[in-house]
Structure 1
Amino acid sequence: MPEWWIERGIGETRAALVDHGRIVEARILRDGVLAAGTILTARLKRTGRNAIAVADDVEYLLPSGSGRATEGAAVQVEVVREALTGSEGWKRPLGRISDRPPCPAPAFEGRALLYPRESPLLDEAGWRELVDEARSGIIGFPGGGLRVSLTPAMTLIDVDGTLSPQELAIAGAGAAALAIRRHGIAGSIGIDLPTLDSKAARQSAGEAIDALLPKPFERTAVNGFGFVQLVRPRRHASSFELASDRPRFEALDLVRSVSRETGTIRLVAHPRLVAELERNADWLRQLERVVGGSVTLRPDPSLAMSAGYAEQA
């Protein structure tokens, strides 16, 4: 029976839907980001269609408009899409007018992992592989691989491999569907499969997506060039979008990876990670409580962004 595992770590909460010991769906919620489903009180800054409401100095775009409310009025707003990060950090979070009172987003229900003692359980289910896929954009499957790329218009998934075109298209379509779910990819998505002359093969590739990707989503038919487009409701950033903000993504991953150390430690990392950790001193204070000793930093420009480590100080 699939079960959500929730790890409330330093700087972010990680939730993973685990089925038969493997992660099939994952979600990372950064501290300070109001989750989709939150209802808050805001003040209307602009009315009409694409109205804007403001709460705690954050502007929420209301694509469905402000109804009969007037400029300056207090309204209840449900967060429909969370604040994004990385290359799309400029986009306002989305909301809609609600008649419900302020309340937090529904919490994940499942097994709460004791952090950091039970973190290895999440790793055994595939968390490290998921992080590696998010940072590299490369996902392997038998006979081929996916390359995931972010563009301003959509997330693109390119399929390549050594199988015959028909086998590769069907296997790649299925692998792409699994990756979309696992990494929380949403919005507009394009999958570039091998060119297929056979209509039956194109149909089979589309059916592989339908069989493995839970609704709701809409898709086009696979065209003669092997391209298919999907649209999924977008409520939060995918793991690839989170990883595009490399310093923060890698800094939080480093903090998690060293949280099972004990005593006084020194974090050795790329200077951009050190700068990110210095900007978020509360992470270090929390880490000190977890490891039971002081935590200092040492920049090393020779290290890759993902190669930080802890040493005894």
Structure 2
Amino acid sequence: MAEWLHEAGIGEERAILVERGEIIAARVDWGEMLRPGFIGPAQVIVKHKGARRGIARFADGGEALVDGLDPAVTEGATVLLRITRAAIAEKGRTKLPQARAAAADAAPSPAPSLLEDLRAGPLPVRSVPVTDRTFDEAGWHELLEQAQGGEIAFAGGSLLVSPTPAMTLIDIDGTLPPPMLARAAVPAIAAALARLDIGGSIGIDFPTLADRRDRLAVDAALAEALAGWKGERTAMNGFGFVQLVARLERPSLVARFARHPAGAALRTLLRQAERVPDPGVLLLTAAPALRRAVPAEWEAELVRRTGRCVRWHEDAGLALDGGFAQAIAA
């Protein structure tokens, strides 16, 4: 039976759904306050005339797009809102979180943690310490490489997953004849949706298939592969394009890592530091930009968790994701 495994790292919760030793789904939470399930008061700063939509600002200064406002609500009023979708970072801008008016009997409350959210679901959940090797054994590093690079190999070709302002695009490339390449890509696409936590609008650019029978065969294969997936899809058009639409609550792993590479690299480095087995002072070697990005409270948490002194060495020749941790003599 599939089981969720959960780790609570510094600045990050992560979880993988494992079945028969392989990762079939993954979730990452960086602890943003305005994420699905958060309920809190906010001031309406924009109310669109003749509509129930607007923009509201919370006490911490964060803003959200609001739908479902009472027609009697005016600009300046304070209303209780529930966040339904987290902020989605895009190239050059960030889409604001989305919110709706909370139920009349609702009370302010923080969003559930990733662990709480998983435990509310139907599958078993097991928390493991960061020093455990279960994530690695299931293929976490391979998944991380796919999320950071957006490239997923399959027999005969590869997928390139690209987050864009309009949708997540999946391009297919390979050396097989187009009908064979399209069908070979289907299982990889279905797996990637859950493994990379992809939702919202998704465009799949299959090879152009001139024969309608080939297009119907891919449609049938895709329908079978997506059985149980909660979303809608179009049939393949004459140019090989298929669109999927699913509920969007948070950024995919690809979008998160692509838009926040320093944040992703820093969390990975701190996780490595927690797992250094040798005794001694922890020495973290990183690019100067990464060192500057370390919140003081995260470094203090690393000291608390490991019981060690922490030193840093800045190496301008390292890429953001090239940092490493080791133990040295005091």
TM-score in terms of structure 2 length: 0.87
Residue 68 of structure 1 is matched in structure 2 by 72
Name the CA distance, whole Å, in 2 between partners of 1:259 and 1:80.
34
Which one of 243, 253, 260 corresponds to residue 229 of structure 1? Answer: 243
Residue 14 of structure 1 is matched in structure 2 by 14
Q: SS where residue 221 of structure 1 aligns?
A: coil
Q: Check the 8 A contact 1:80/1:95 in 2, yes or no.
A: yes
Residue 273 of structure 1 is matched in structure 2 by 290
Q: SS where residue 168 of structure 1 aligns?
A: helix
Residue 285 of structure 1 is matched in structure 2 by 300
Q: Check the 8 A contact 1:263/1:292 in 2, yes or no.
A: no
2:109 is the counterpart of 1:103 = yes
Residue 57 of structure 1 is matched in structure 2 by 61
Q: Check the 8 A contact 1:47/1:66 in 2, yes or no.
A: no
Q: SS where residue 293 of structure 1 aligns?
A: coil
Q: Check the 8 A contact 1:166/1:196 in 2, yes or no.
A: yes
Residue 143 of structure 1 is matched in structure 2 by 156
2:203 is the counterpart of 1:200 = no
TM-score in terms of structure 1 length: 0.92
Which one of 85, 95, 98 corresponds to residue 81 of structure 1? Answer: 85
Name the CA distance, whole Å, in 1 between partners of 2:219 and 2:109.
40
Q: SS where residue 90 of structure 1 aligns?
A: strand
Name the CA distance, whole Å, in 1 between partners of 2:300 and 2:126.
23
Which amino acid counterpart does residue 255 of structure 1 have in structure 2? Answer: L
Residue 44 of structure 2 is matched in structure 1 by 44
What does residue range 90-169 of structure 1 map to in structure 2 within 5 Å?
90-99=94-103, 100-106=106-112, 107=116, 108-109=118-119, 110-118=124-132, 120-169=133-182
Which amino acid counterpart does residue 47 of structure 2 have in structure 1? Answer: T
Q: Check the 8 A contact 1:173/1:206 in 2, yes or no.
A: no
Where does the alignment leave 5 or more consecutive residues of structure 1 unmatched?
none
Report the Cα offset of residue 308 of structure 1.
Answer: 1.0
RMSD over equivalenced CA pairs, Å:
2.0
More divergent stretch after superposition (214-223 vs 14-23): 214-223
Name the CA distance, whole Å, in 2 between partners of 1:246 and 1:170.
33
Report the Cα offset of residue 89 of structure 1.
Answer: 5.2
What does residue range 294-309 of structure 1 map to in structure 2 within 5 Å?
294-309=309-324
Report the Cα offset of residue 82 of structure 1.
Answer: 0.7
Report the Cα offset of residue 281 of structure 1.
Answer: 1.6
Report the Cα offset of residue 88 of structure 1.
Answer: 6.5
Name the CA distance, whole Å, in 2 between partners of 1:207 and 1:255.
45
Which amino acid counterpart does residue 176 of structure 1 have in structure 2? Answer: I
Identity of aligned pairs, percent?
39
Which amino acid counterpart does residue 199 of structure 2 have in structure 1? Answer: A
Question: Paired residues, what number?
Answer: 310
Report the Cα offset of residue 66 of structure 1.
Answer: 4.4
Q: Check the 8 A contact 1:219/1:229 in 2, yes or no.
A: yes
Q: Check the 8 A contact 2:90/2:164 in 1, yes or no.
A: no
Q: Check the 8 A contact 2:34/2:97 in 1, yes or no.
A: no
Name the CA distance, whole Å, in 2 between partners of 1:128 and 1:33.
27
Distance 1:273 1:66, change over 3 A: farther
